């Protein structure tokens, strides 16, 4: 299904008065309102192809119906999200879960929905049906050169698919690690990983990047070969200018100061971008901003400050992507919530009074520094996000619109109730 402009205009019209009143109230206090709205208007967050179906746990999976049954239908779903919020103009594919068999047609379909392709993701954490060698004991770090070669070739194939779709980056996440002390020689595992990544790096087109993701544990529970940002950064540094570190918010041990990591990676020119989600206990892949929105704001505060210091364009300098999964919520609603949460945090960070903050920092005025951040964080910026969406032709209230237009109901009619999205 496709949303018509008049349908969106009609919905917005019904809410126009209330919105205007709320918007005027907040906007009156913001001196750089035009700049904030402009930045929000060009800010987009890519949607992962694997998040459009209901997730699940190893204990069960409860589908909601009307799920996309093909890559084409996943693109259609991202098209719907983008039509509603005008902030999700890209899709990120995981190979081989979502192989573009006819890349020309897939690219054309995406373009019809105003979408392009974000980073492509390789998968050497599962064995595929006709695969010769197993990744049971790892892939790029494996002790057996033949397994490493197979995994390298897979990554090069992913780059090939990405080229056809005009992606510009490959994301590599490895589950490689060990389950028990003694299983692995850490140094050899790291060196094997580096050598394998070097071969993949050598296959990158000139205008491509490789993003190295880290994660402390799961599925391995003693060590992970790229377990934290230090290990990822070390690899990225050794690989060269096209390599950098991807931060998935759920891939940190509880209490980690993620905003500090982000700040320093950015300073070093080694921040690839984000996999946004939220986390209560581990890599929970919860809706962005659902558990710790203050942390999200603090991350954006570092991003805005650090990018401005380096003259970087907020919207295009790094990769912005969601990596979440939804066990009980409608995937589209969940993704809409996630994008809203990201835009809210970004808008709040844009409101921080930087001059006053620098003065407070230089005076060691701890109380005032905290007040300045919280002043921005406690501003209700939702009308600003809504206004930016409105100006782009999106809806004032994406989730409300999704429900009012009975989009899921229509998708169920089209696709059926008993659908299982391809992929995960
Ligand atoms: C691993 O937990 C991860 O965050 C990586 O980004 C994978 O590509 C993705 O999840 C798979 O769901
Ligand atoms: Mn991730
Ligand atoms: Mn993850």
At 19-45, the pLDDT tens digits run: 999 999 999 999 999 999 999 999 999
Q: Which token pair is 223?
A: 């060590």
Task: Please report the pLDDT score of residue 423 as a whole number.
Answer: 57
Helices 366-377/293-310 angle, 10° precision: 100
Q: Which token pair is 215?
A: 């994660």
Q: What is the mean pLDDT of residues 235-252?
A: 98
φ, ψ for residue 211 (rounded to 5)?
-110, 120
Residue nearest to atom 9 of ligand 1 (CA): 323
Task: Please report the pLDDT score of residue 395 as a whole number.
Answer: 98
Q: Which of 90-94, 346-350, 418-422 has the lowest mean pLDDT?
A: 418-422
Residue 200's CB: how many other CB atoms inside 10 A? 23
φ, ψ for residue 189 (rounded to 5)?
-60, -45
- Percent of the chain exceeding pLDDT 70 equals 99
Which of the listed residues 275, 422, 424 should we mutate to test ligand 1's pocket, taking the one with most ligand atoms within 8 A of CB? 275
| Contact by Cβ (8 Å): 351, 343 | no
User: Tell me, what's the ipTM?
Assistant: 0.99
Q: What is the CA radius of gyration of the chain?
A: 22
**What CATH number has the domain spanning 5-415?**
3.20.20.150
Separation of CA 422 and ligand 1 centre (Å): 16
SS3 content of the chain, % helix, strand, coil (to 5): 50, 10, 40
Dist. CA 70–CA 68, nearest whole Å: 6
Specify the 3-state DSSP secondary structure of 71. Answer: helix
Residue nearest to atom 3 of ligand 1 (CA): 173
φ, ψ for residue 77 (rounded to 5)?
-65, -40
Which of the listed residues 120, 123, 213 should we mutate to test ligand 1's pocket, taking the one with most ligand atoms within 8 A of CB? 213
Dist. CA 92–CA 49, nearest whole Å: 6
Domain spans of the chain, in order of start: 5-415
Dist. CA 405–CA 413, nearest whole Å: 14
Please list all protein residues whose beta carbon sits less than 5 angstroms from ligand 3, which is an ion.
283
415: confidence class by pLDDT, cuts 50, 70, 90: very high
Task: Please report the pLDDT score of residue 418 as a whole number.
Answer: 80
Would strands 177-178 and 243-248 be described as parallel, antiparallel, or unpaired? unpaired
**pLDDT of 5 above 90:** yes
Model confidence over 153-190: pLDDT tens digits? 999 999 999 999 999 999 999 999 999 999 999 999 99
Task: Please report the pLDDT score of residue 58 as a whole number.
Answer: 84
Dist. CA 1–CA 83, nearest whole Å: 11
- Percent of the chain exceeding pLDDT 90 equals 95
Task: Please report the pLDDT score of residue 184 as a whole number.
Answer: 97
Report which ligand 1 atom has the smallest distance to the Cα of 50: 12
419: confidence class by pLDDT, cuts 50, 70, 90: confident
82: confidence class by pLDDT, cuts 50, 70, 90: very high
Task: Please report the pLDDT score of residue 143 as a whole number.
Answer: 98
Separation of CA 370 and ligand 3 centre (Å): 31
Helices 33-41/331-350 angle, 10° precision: 150
Residue nearest to atom 2 of ligand 1 (CA): 283
Dist. CA 305–CA 353, nearest whole Å: 11
Ligand nearest to the CA of 121: 1
| Average pLDDT over all residues of the chain | 97
Q: Which long-range contacts (CB under 8 A, 24 or more apart) does 12-16 make?
A: 12/390, 12/395, 12/396, 15/396, 15/397, 16/396
Q: What is the mean pLDDT of residues 105-130?
A: 97
What does the DSSP assignment read for 102-165?
Answer: SHHHHHHHHHHTT-EE--EE---SS--TT-SS--TT-STT-SSHHHHHHHHHHHHHHHHHHHHH
Separation of CA 275 and ligand 2 centre (Å): 5
């Amino acid at each position: 299904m496709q949303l018509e402009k008049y349908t969106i205009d009609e919905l917005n019209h019904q809410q126009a008065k209330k919105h205007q009143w709320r918007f005027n109230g907040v906007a009156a206090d913001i001196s750089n309102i035009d700049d904030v709205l402009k930045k929000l208007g060009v800010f987009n967050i890519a949607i992962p192809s694997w998040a459009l179906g209901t997730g699940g746990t190893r204990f069960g999976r409860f589908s909601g119906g009307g799920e996309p049954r093909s890559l084409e239908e996943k693109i259609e779903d991202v098209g719907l999200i983008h039509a509603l919020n005008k902030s999700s103009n890209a899709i990120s594919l995981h190979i081989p879960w979502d192989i573009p068999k006819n890349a020309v047609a897939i690219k054309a379909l995406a373009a019809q929905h105003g979408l392009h392709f974000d980073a492509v993701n390789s998968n050497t954490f599962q064995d595929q049906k006709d695969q010769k060698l197993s990744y049971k004991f790892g892939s790029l770090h494996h002790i057996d050169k033949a397994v490493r070669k197979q995994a390298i070739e897979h990554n090069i194939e992913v780059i090939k698919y990405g080229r056809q779709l005009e992606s510009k980056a490959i994301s590599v996440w490895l589950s490689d690690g060990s389950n028990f002390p003694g299983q692995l020689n850490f140094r050899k595992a790291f060196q094997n990983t580096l050598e394998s990544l070097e071969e993949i790096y050598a296959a990158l087109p000139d205008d491509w990047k490789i993003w190295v993701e880290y994660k402390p544990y799961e599925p391995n529970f003693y060590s992970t070969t790229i377990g934290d940002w230090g290990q990822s950064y070390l690899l990225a540094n050794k690989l060269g200018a096209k390599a950098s570190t991807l931060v998935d918010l759920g891939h940190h041990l509880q209490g980690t100061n993620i905003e500090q990591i982000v700040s320093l990676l950015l300073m070093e020119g080694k921040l690839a971008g984000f996999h946004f989600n939220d986390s209560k206990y581990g890599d929970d892949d919860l809706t962005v901003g659902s558990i710790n929105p203050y942390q999200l704001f603090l991350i954006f505060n570092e991003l805005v400050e650090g990018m401005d210091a380096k003259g970087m364009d907020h919207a295009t300098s790094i990769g912005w992507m969601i990596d979440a999964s939804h066990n009980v919520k409608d995937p589209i609603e969940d993704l809409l919530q996630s994008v809203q949460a990201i835009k809210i945090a970004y808008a709040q960070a844009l409101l921080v009074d930087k001059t006053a903050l620098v003065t407070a920092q230089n005076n060691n005025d701890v109380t005032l520094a905290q007040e300045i951040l919280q002043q921005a964080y406690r501003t209700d910026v939702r009308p600003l996000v809504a206004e930016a969406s409105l100006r782009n032709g999106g809806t004032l209230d994406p989730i409300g619109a999704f429900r009012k237009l009975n989009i899921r109901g229509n998708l169920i009619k089209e696709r059926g109730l008993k659908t299982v999205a391809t992929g995960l």
